[in-house]
Amino acid sequence: MTETNIGAPIKRVEDKRFLTGRGRYTDDLNQPNQLYACILRSPHAHANLKKVDVSQAKAAPGVIDIFTGSDMAADEVGSLPCGWQIHSKDGSPMHEPGHPPMAVTKVRHVGDQVAIVIAETKSQARDALDIIEVDYEVLPAAINMDEALSGKALVHDDVPNNMCFDWEIGDKEATENSFSDAHKVVSIELVNNRLIPNAMEPRAAVAQYDPSNGNYTLHTTTQNPHVIRLLMGAFVLQIPEHKLRIISHDVGGGFGSKIFHYAEEAILTWASAKVSQPIKWTAERSESFVTDAHGRDHETKAELALDKDGKFLGLRVSTKANIGAYLSTFGSSVPTYLYGTLLAGVYKTPAIYCEVKTVFTNTVPVDAYRGAGRPECTYLLERLVNKAAKETGIDPVEIRRINMIQPDQFPYQTPVALQYDVGDYPRAFETALKASDYEGFSSRRKSSEDNGKKRGIGISTYIEACGIAPSAVAGALGARAGLYESAQVRVHPTGSVTLYTGTHNHGQGHETTFAQIVSDTLGVSIDQVEVSHGDTGEVQFGMGTYGSRSLAVGGPAVLKACNKIIEKSKKIAAHILEASVDDIDFKDGVYSISGTDRELAFGEVSLAAYVPHNYPIEELEPGLDENAFYDPLNFSFPAGCHICEVEIDPETGEVEITDFTAVDDIGRVINPMIVEGQVQGGLAQGIGQALMEGCVYDNEGQLLTGSYMDYTMPRADNLPNLNVSTESVLGASNPLEVKGVGEVGSIGAPPAVINAILDALSSLGVEDISMPASPSKVWQAIHNAQ
């Protein structure tokens, strides 16, 4: 292994531009003659739009034009589409009410788009917002899920009881039977708190229309430019792909929230043709809070059936999932196939049944946020397992050992559709117990108690399905797109390489890890490799970055394209060396005839490909530029064990995380430095969910946690150092043997933290606490128990 090859903790090549302030984030870009847009948003959760009078505002200084939903409707602009169709238990397809980019007759959540003002300066646009007169007829709003399901207020008139779909998975009868055989049934009710993703860069867009050729260019903050081009071009604005270019260079974090096709992208692109000038819009953070898709928001009842030895017999789950006011791009897949299919966890539960009612409410749409469905599943499962341990008197470590899938059981078919390919759950589990000094906990607890503090330790195991996804499987489950990935490897005449990938880098470090793969495979040094992404005008196609898929699906595509390069270049080398292709060895960038000292350098062969003087021109085309599409064989299944230790001051309810240990099996590690960073970042978000973050709406649908004053984000002094390591079994679903790492932290952490808190407080009689376990909630729980 060289210092830059696969497995090396090489420093990131993208860092320099960020460290010197030369990133190219969307709001950093300006076009000649650019205008600025501000968007008027509904202050009401639910209202009929009786009149939107823009006449006065149009006359305001600097205002170029103002458009409303009616203007877009008059142009027959389509509805923002949903990318995943779910069917209800009875076989009927989910309700898919229209989602106009700007409201036409009704606003359905605070923040819904009402009008766009385009002006010469941003302040002029903002000033003009204030003089648009809107006559709202305020309607009763459906905010919480029970209220919504009662159907008193209908978010969409044609969706009875606001139920988008009522889905199920698993064998209901087998599960019922397991409960009748049970020695013990443990049940739990819990809420997975609604979160706001809060990537630090607010969304932004710059749209441009060229009247001379009818081409549109949209710079936007997205995780998947080709998906935006497809959705917006084909379904919303009817612009063919060759006339629409989507660019997203540097994006300041996504965590899922920048996957979706947002209304502003369509509004700006459409409006740019109306005014024939480039338009820029940048969300203010307060707009982000009420327009970026939110995450989680489940209410769940679950029961676990056990036999007399503590073996799990069956699991029954019933969940209500809030989907918000409209179906966002992947909103329907999150509480279903990304949730119910993981309910086996790392355990041998033979019978599982899960039903999910998904509900429209007058709140911001809910969609994927880091983990997407899998944190909800893991939280439920690991809280329930701990409760079962408590109620059966079996130690929480022991009950997990008893039920864990063993290494010799792979491939393991779960009762909820997935087949786990490889893994060794006991190994990560036992390693984590050691790394956290689980055995020494009781003495640490004693010293805390001597200081008047309560100490607790909490375990969570998890499994996730990522590397989304095998297209045929995804299609069978309702996905309306293929989920392969593409790569193009262009070897230039002198042997340097540009890699075009359809995945998107917004912090994950692909410009480095993908370059490592190319460098390792082709034997060129890493500074001879450039990674290009985020521009539909440059990259042939791609499905983008989410669901921890980039390395697991995009990586093998890179490998495949590199292998095509090797295959072709070997033929060229054979010709030049006057040998048979079968005799050519390629290693570390050198072609040689086996058993001789005759060799050619990579650059010599690439030059011959472009200067084909001595070239097998009858058999081979000139050039060295190959593309590949890779569709994975299966999901990949990272798994692991997270252990959290907390100390609580019973006087104040303050929870301090004293130690956090994560041992993850993520398959082959390309760059351990980046892997650690991904796990740490995910853990911070998971700990944030457990202790601090939570989205609160009042009964009228006003967002009360709409700024960093009220939505508490983890800050440096809220978090401990994180003890992160990997214990990997190589992946089996792809030739790189990777599994995916982006989401593991946010999946494993929340139940570990809450289990630790409940362990600390159990001697005080506290049996339940909901997330976020803020000091006041902890204090209240202590006092209620006494």
Partner 1 sequence: MEMSGEYRIEASRQTVWDALNDPEILKQSIPGCEEIERLSDTELAAKVVAKVGPVKAKFAGQVTLSDLDPPNSYRISGEGKGGAAGFAKGGANVSLKSDGEATILSYEVDATVGGKLAQLGARLIDGTAKKMAGDFFKNFAEVVTESKDLNSTENLNDADTNKVNHDINASKRPKIGVGSWIIGLIVAAAVILAIIVY
Partner 2 sequence: MPTVSMTVNGESVSSEVEPRTLLVQYLRENLGLTGTHVGCDTSQCGACVVHVNGKSAKSCTMLAVQAEGSEVSTIEGLADGDTLHPMQEAFRENHGLQCGFCTPGMVMSAIDLVQTNSDPSEHDVREWLEGNLCRCTGYHNIVKSILAGAKAMQG
In the complex with partner 2, which residue's Cβ is closer, 307 or 527? 527
Of 269, 243, 287, the residue nearest 72 (C-alpha) = 269
Assess contact for 53 and 126: CB atoms under 8 A.
Answer: no
**CA angle centred on 535, ends 673 and 633, rounded to 5°:** 60
Select the binding partner of residue 716 from ligand FES, partner 1, partner 2, none (C-beta < 5 to 8 A, by kind).
Answer: partner 2
CB of 450 to partner 2, least distance (A): 23
Of 497, 386, 457, the residue nearest 659 (C-alpha) = 457
In the complex with partner 2, which residue's Cβ is closer, 28 or 768? 28
In the complex with partner 2, which residue's Cβ is closer, 8 or 674? 674
Which residue type does 749 have?
A: A
In the complex with partner 1, which residue's Cβ is closer, 121 or 596? 121
Strand partners, 107: 47
CB of 232 to partner 1, least distance (A): 26
Among 507, 523, 534, 667, binds ligand FES (CB under 6 A): 507
Regarding 19 and contact with ligand FES (CB under 6 A), the answer is no
Backbone angles phi, psi at 269, to 5 degrees: -60, -45
CB of 712 to partner 2, least distance (A): 10
CB of 682 to partner 2, least distance (A): 8
CA distances from 125 to 61, 272, 298 (A): 9, 15, 38
Select the binding partner of residue 132 from partner 2, partner 1, ligand FES, none (C-beta < 5 to 8 A, by kind).
Answer: partner 1
Q: What is the rounded CA–CA span in Å between residue 424 and residue 409?
A: 10
CB of 184 to partner 2, least distance (A): 38
Regarding 284 and contact with partner 2 (CB under 8 A), the answer is yes
CB of 55 to partner 1, least distance (A): 15
In the complex with ligand FES, which residue's Cβ is closer, 252 or 423? 252
Residue 632 per-residue DSSP state = -
In the complex with ligand FES, which residue's Cβ is closer, 507 or 750? 507
Residues 237-266 touching partner 2, rule: CB under 8 A, are: 250-253, 255
Before 650, cis peptide (omega within 30)?
Answer: no
Binding mask 654-693 for partner 2 (x = CB under 8 A): -------------------xx-xx--xxxxxx--------
CA distances from 674 to 56, 104, 301, 518, 687 (A): 54, 46, 38, 17, 20
Q: Where on the chain is the footprint of partner 1 (CB under 8 A)?
A: 38, 40-44, 110, 126, 129-132, 286, 289-290, 698, 700, 702-704, 706-707, 709-710
**Which 3 state secondary structure label does DSSP give 47?**
strand
Residues binding ligand FES: number (CB under 6 A): 4
Regarding 706 and contact with ligand FES (CB under 6 A), the answer is no
Assess contact for 623 and 609: CB atoms under 8 A.
Answer: yes
Regarding 32 and contact with partner 2 (CB under 8 A), the answer is no
Q: What is the rounded CA–CA span in Å between residue 247 and residue 229?
A: 10
Pairing type for strands 163-170 and 279-282 reads unpaired
In the complex with partner 2, which residue's Cβ is closer, 650 or 714? 714
Select the binding partner of residue 110 from partner 1, partner 2, ligand FES, none (C-beta < 5 to 8 A, by kind).
Answer: partner 1
Residue in the block written with tokens 């870009």: 29
Regarding 200 and contact with ligand FES (CB under 6 A), the answer is yes
Among 131, 159, 579, 719, binds partner 2 (CB under 8 A): 719
Q: What is the rounded CA–CA span in Å between residue 62 and residue 347?
A: 64
Regarding 677 and contact with ligand FES (CB under 6 A), the answer is no
CB of 199 to ligand FES, least distance (A): 7
Q: Which stretch binds partner 2 (CB under 8 A): 52-60, 196-204, 308-316, 534-542?
A: 196-204
Q: How far apart are the first and last CA of the chain?
A: 61
In the complex with partner 1, which residue's Cβ is closer, 138 or 581? 138
Residues binding partner 2: number (CB under 8 A): 56
Beta strands in 424-580 (DSSP E): 454-463, 485-491, 497-501, 529-532
- What stretch of H or E contains 7? none
Pairing type for strands 312-324 and 351-360 reads parallel
Assess contact for 103 and 112: CB atoms under 8 A.
Answer: yes
Q: What is the rounded CA–CA span in Å between residue 108 and residue 703?
A: 13
The dihedral region occupied by 701, where left means phi > 0, alpha psi between -120 and 50, and beta the remainder, is left
Q: Which two tokens stand for residue 613?
A: 């003087």
Q: Which two tokens stand for residue 589?
A: 């960038």
Residue 315 per-residue DSSP state = E
Pairing type for strands 590-593 and 599-601 reads antiparallel
CB of 702 to partner 1, least distance (A): 4
**Widest CA span in the chain:** 89
In the complex with ligand FES, which residue's Cβ is closer, 253 or 350? 253
In the complex with partner 1, which residue's Cβ is closer, 122 or 243? 122
Residues 248-277 touching ligand FES, rule: CB under 6 A, are: 252-253
Select the binding partner of residue 202 from partner 1, partner 2, ligand FES, none (C-beta < 5 to 8 A, by kind).
Answer: partner 2
Residues 493-552 touching partner 2, rule: CB under 8 A, are: 506-509
The dihedral region occupied by 623, where left means phi > 0, alpha psi between -120 and 50, and beta the remainder, is left
CB of 505 to partner 2, least distance (A): 9
Regarding 406 and contact with partner 2 (CB under 8 A), the answer is no
CB of 86 to ligand FES, least distance (A): 33
Select the binding partner of residue 15 from partner 2, partner 1, ligand FES, none (C-beta < 5 to 8 A, by kind).
Answer: partner 2
Assess contact for 382 and 758: CB atoms under 8 A.
Answer: no
Regarding 285 and contact with partner 2 (CB under 8 A), the answer is yes
Which residue type does 634 have?
A: N
Regarding 15 and contact with partner 2 (CB under 8 A), the answer is yes
In the complex with ligand FES, which residue's Cβ is closer, 577 or 679? 679
In the complex with partner 1, which residue's Cβ is closer, 136 or 429? 136
Regarding 716 and contact with partner 2 (CB under 8 A), the answer is yes
- What stretch of H or E contains 118? strand 113-119
Pairing type for strands 497-501 and 529-532 reads parallel
CB of 301 to ligand FES, least distance (A): 37
Q: What is the rounded CA–CA span in Å between residue 111 and residue 288?
A: 9
Q: Which two tokens stand for residue 36?
A: 């600025």
Question: What residue ranges bind ligand FES (CB under 6 A)?
Answer: 200, 252-253, 507
Question: What residue ranges bind partner 2 (CB under 8 A)?
Answer: 11-12, 14-23, 25, 27-28, 123, 198-202, 250-253, 255, 282, 284-286, 506-509, 673-674, 676-677, 680-685, 707-709, 713-717, 719, 721-722, 745
